Structure 1
Amino acid sequence: MKPSDLIQRTQAAVWHPCTQMKQQIATPPLAITRGHGVWLHDADGRAYIDAISSWWVNLFGHANPRINAAICDQLNQIEHVMLAGCTHAPVVALSERLGQLTGLGHAFYGSDGASATEIALKMSFHYWRNRGQAGKTEFISLQNSYHGETLGALSVTDVAIFKDTYAPLLRHSTQVMSPDWRLAEAGESAEQYAERAAQDLASHLAQHHQQVAALIVEPLVQGAAGMAMYHAVYLTRVRQLCDQYNVHLIADEIAVGFGRTGTMFACEQAAIKPDLMCLSKGITGGYLPLSAVLATDEIYSAFYDDATARGFLHSHSYTGNPLACRAALATLDIFAQDQVLANNRSKGDYLDKVAVPLREHARVTNFRRTGMIWAFDVAGADASFAREFYLAALDQGLLLRPIGNTVYFMPPYVISEAEIDQLVRGSLAALVQVTGVS
């Protein structure tokens, strides 16, 4: 099939996510035919480094032989069975291992990140109702937060382009000061600013805690806010405040879990345990849709009752799908067997070293890194910057997708030093092309 034929067919039949379809006439989607490692190959034979891990999901490369083998093995056993009234070995093993990794005792499964947010919000609300505190119905999130685009998740999201159109459909929630260190005043450290942001939360909880069910945060990095990064002391303080005011802490580790911030889970860097943890994206290594919400024993026990109505009556047909669970188990096996986190530290340090010319470019500001996430802002960028940089990066063999004036890297962990060199060199060339500044 000719690439042009595939593009015409997708424009005629497919409604693409997060896309103004009319713009695809001028900027057609890539017609990807295969992938291997960090590389994606299109129908014209061009290759691109998947520098954003296909929307932050791919951890160990495309067509990973170990994850492939696990899924193929599971196909010969059972591809799917309903989890209401049945169970199976992959979902049990995955739940046990996630519990061991997080200290949270029970896993409830969904299909994607937004679903995990919905589940966590419902669990918190229902917990307080079951405990006789039905007045605790409100939620708090951070300014510029993103937690998904279903209605409940969107209610605690604070990104206008996603939220404003649907505002009449959404529940009210409160946004408190973001700890994003780019917002600090001159002379104020990231830690000092995080402490000030925590005090803003403290002031709100002091007045409203009796109505608040939960605070939901993206630990350490707010992705859709332009990779907003903050000091771990903020997580320490919010855990203390949630304990003080009897409010659940929901950790949205959908994008930042599974090694992205340098530790297996971002909350580890503040030595805290949330009441509910949302996981997705990298959980299956980027292979199959799966999400999980992990709950404390205390939350689980509030639903454990003779009365059916006190149970958590949430479901979807593919809950705990065996194929997805096997992919997730294979992903955890790679972490356990390959010293992934230690290797990532070495690769991260290498990228920092070779990125000095990029960091020092005249238009680059706020160059930052948390674990295997890098980002920088481009001063003076106009509304067309993201599209122009995306196209310029494609010319360099890179798939990058800026958020406004923020360029970020979230490559698969299997990226090599030579591929890191190409990523940095190509990004600098794209920046020079778009800005006209060398």
Structure 2
Amino acid sequence: MREDSRRWIEGDRAHCWHPFTRQAEWCREEPLVLVRGEGVWLWDSEGHRYFDGNSSIWTNIHGHRHPRLDAAIRAQLEDVAHTSYLGFANPRASELAARLTALFPSGTLERVFFSDDGSTAIECAVRMALQYRLNRGEDTRTGFIAFENGYHGDTLGAASLGGVGRFTGLMQRFGLDVRRVSSMAELEATPTEWSNHIAAVIVEPLIQGVNEMRPWPAGMLAALRRWCDARGVHLILDEVMTGFGRTGRMFACQHEDVVPDFLCVAKGLTGGYLPMAATLTSGAVYDAFLGGADKAFYYGHSYTANPLGCAVALASLDVFEEDRVLETLQPKIARMAELLAGLKERSPLVHEIRQRGFIAGIELRQPDGSRFPADARTGEAVCRAAWSHGLLTRPILDTIVLMPPLATTEDELAFAVDALEKAIAQCG
């Protein structure tokens, strides 16, 4: 092992704390130290190359070191890296807000509140939804409806909305008043008076991510929009994972022509370059906050509307338009389906393929269809084995996530699926 690799690993073991990680095990293992990227590829400190199979935790859109995104950041650095958004404006934020709202029909999502990450985008929407009711004198509408097995982030409010116990179980004793349902049918069966205390419903549109990439039935989102409209309940869409082309449209809600009252985006907003988030909402919501100090929205972050983040987000939107990203993505979505269907045919451990657009979950089970013992951690073993075949990705339990950058070519996609097939065989 190179001297630099050893030094970095020892420093990590001595001082760092990783997310969603069993630290005792981590400190006994030899981690990869990722040092460089180009396109859909990453290199570790030992010089080995890997396909970025989960887009660096679902963030990267156009590939690493994209020349136009790099240039946008360098150009902004010539002016200023950061200025406060509290009491001041900046050019890139104004431009980005206009571009984002223009992605939706005129007169719908007209306002943008910038924050730092997916959790804070959700927190922002939740606090807006609550204060909107209070500002309008609707003091009894303080509850939320969320869906079982949903995931909306790790800050306290976002975590209390979640329905995945291993992430949110401890937090559900605190925070928001949340009622959970498992399906649209269950929600529609609830009494009308039940909704009189609800401020908003939150959902991951089209597909639940942390719930092992499980898609919603076709038409579910449109039905949910109708249910909310009939009861005066706001609809919050968590598009932190699904936004910016992942499902084949710019946003998942566009598949069913749904416009929410709040749209939360992060991850792909900057093309995977910088931490930044946005909560889009309607003019009607915004208008409820106009007036005296008692109606102002007292919420924000030191790096709100960071000019570097705004600049690279604008460049990402330029790439979508100039390179016709969504148009060229369609044959790659079809090719992914073909490759994964072949994988299922050849591997007895592949139980089910769940795909929406360029998002796929490959669920592994034993040949008889039964689940692997939880303590076997089969999904983790397969992903670790994939390193030796040049693929980086992560599992959700025993479901392997394949969510490559949209810039992936069909040949690169074939490489990733082949590497995954070899890793599954190695662990089977």
How far apart in 2 are the matches of 1:3 and 1:122?
A: 44
For residues 304-315 of structure 1, what are the structure 2 equivalents within 5 Å?
Answer: 304-305=290-291, 307-315=292-300
Q: CA separation of 1:243/1:422 partners in 2, compared to 1, >3 Å: closer, same or farther?
A: same
Report if aligned partners of 1:205, 1:245 keep a CA contact under 8 Å in 2. Answer: no
Residues 403-426 of structure 1: CA deviation (Å, up to 9, x unaligned) = 001112100111122211210111
Aligned match of 1:192? none
What is the alpha-carbon distance in structure 1 between the residues aligned to residue 4 and residue 402 of structure 2? 31
Q: Say whether 1:353 aligns with 2:358.
A: no
1:132 deviates by 1.2
Aligned equivalents of 1:241 and 1:328: distance in 2?
Answer: 34
> Partners of 2:320 and 2:270 in 1: how far apart?
12
2:45 alignment counterpart: 43
Distance 2:340 2:151 in 1: 28
SS of equivalent to 1:101: coil
Q: Distance in 2 between matches of 1:169 and 1:96?
A: 37
| Corresponding letter in the other structure for 2:142 | T
- Measured in 2, the distance between the counterparts of 1:355 and 1:167 equals 37
For residues 152-175 of structure 1, the C-alpha deviation after alignment (integer angstroms, 9 at most, x for no partner) is 000100111111233433333111
Q: In structure 2, how many angstroms separate the alpha carbons of the residues matched to 1:349 and 1:76?
A: 42
1:324 partner letter: G
Say whether residues 1:330 and 2:312 are aligned partners: no
Contact (CA 8 Å) 2:247, 2:357: kept in 1 or not?
Answer: yes
* Partner of residue 410, structure 2: 417
The 2-side partners of 1:130 and 1:276 are apart by 17
Encode CA deviations 1:358-396: one digit per residue, 9 max, x unaligned.
121222122121111111211133322122112111111
The one of 261, 267, 279 equivalent to 1:275 is 261
Matches within 5 A, 1:124-203: 124-177=129-182, 197-203=183-189
CA distance in structure 1 between the aligned counterparts of 2:131 and 2:45, rounded to whole angstroms:
49
C-alpha displacement of 1:205? 5.7
Q: Distance in 2 between matches of 1:372 and 1:148?
A: 22
Q: State which drifts further: 271-280 or 159-168.
A: 159-168
Q: Which residue of 2 aligns with 1:228?
A: 214
Report the residue type matching 2:260 in the other structure.
P
Inter-CA distance 244–375: structure 2 relative to 1 (3 Å threshold): same
Whether 1:387 aligns to 2:387 is: no
Q: Which moved more, 1:345-354 or 1:388-397?
A: 345-354
Q: Write the distance in 2 (CA, Å) between the matches of 1:205 and 1:67.
A: 50
Of 29-38 and 283-292, deviating more is: 29-38
Indicate the percent of aligned positions where both proteins have the same amino acid.
37
* Structure 2: gaps (5+ residues): 367-371
Conserved 8 A contact 2:341-2:353: no
Contact 2:261 / 2:282 at 8 angstroms: preserved in 1? yes
CA deviation digits over 1:74-121, x for unaligned, max 9?
001121111121111100000001000024100001100000000000
State how far apart, in whole Å, the 2-side matches of 1:268 and 1:242 are: 17
1:280 and 1:101 mapped to 2: Cα distance? 16
Q: What SS is found at the alignment partner of 2:190?
A: helix
Instruction: Report the residue type matching 1:417 in the other structure.
Output: E
For 1:249 and 1:27, the matched residues in 2 are separated by 44
* Secondary structure at the counterpart of residue 105 of structure 1: strand
Aligned mates of 2:208, 2:70 — CA distance in 1: 31
Q: 1:265 aligns with which of 251, 258, 266?
A: 251
Deviation at 1:133, TM superposition (A): 0.4
Written as runs of structure 1 = structure 2, the 5 A alignment for 1:212-227 is 212-227=198-213
The answer (yes or no) to whether the contact 2:245–2:406 under 8 Å persists in 1 is no
Q: Distance in 2 between matches of 1:373 and 1:382?
A: 26
State yes or no: 1:299 paired with 2:285. yes
* Preserved CA contact (<8 Å) 2:50 2:391: yes
| Farther off after superposition, 350-359 or 289-298 | 350-359
1:3 matched residue in structure 2: 5
TM-score, structure 2 as length reference: 0.95
Contact kept in structure 2, 1:95 and 1:107, CA below 8 Å: yes
Q: Which stretch shifts more, 225-234 or 52-61?
A: 225-234
- The CA deviation string for residues 122-166 of structure 1, in whole angstroms up to 9 with x for no partner, is 000000111110110001111000000100000100111111233
Alignment TM-score, normalising by the size of structure 1: 0.92
Deviation at 1:304, TM superposition (A): 1.3
Partner Cα distance (1:400, 1:26) in 2: 20
How large is the Cα RMSD of the aligned pairs?
1.2
Aligned length: 415
Aligned-pair CA distance for 1:232: 3.5
2:424 aligned counterpart, secondary structure: helix
What's the secondary structure of 1:102's corresponding residue?
Answer: coil
Q: Give the whole-Å Cα distance in 1 for the aligned partners of 2:261 and 2:309.
A: 25
Counterparts of 1:204 and 1:2, CA distance in 2: 60
Counterpart CA distance in 2 for 1:316 and 1:205 is 39
Q: Which amino acid aligns with 1:68?
A: D
Spell out, residue by residue over 1:202-249, the C-alpha distance to the aligned partner (whole angstroms, 9 max, x if none).
223624111100000000111001111123400010000000011000
Q: Secondary structure at the match of 1:226?
A: coil
Matching residue of 2:358: 372
Query: Does 257-266 or 379-388 show the bigger shift?
Result: 379-388
Equivalent of residue 276 in structure 2, options 270, 290, 294: 290
Structure 1 gaps, min length 5? 178-196
Partners of 2:290 and 2:31 in 1: how far apart? 48
Report the counterpart of residue 224 of structure 2 in structure 1: 238
Report if the CA contact (8 A) 2:39-2:407 is conserved.
Answer: yes
CA contact (8 A) 2:336 2:358 kept: no
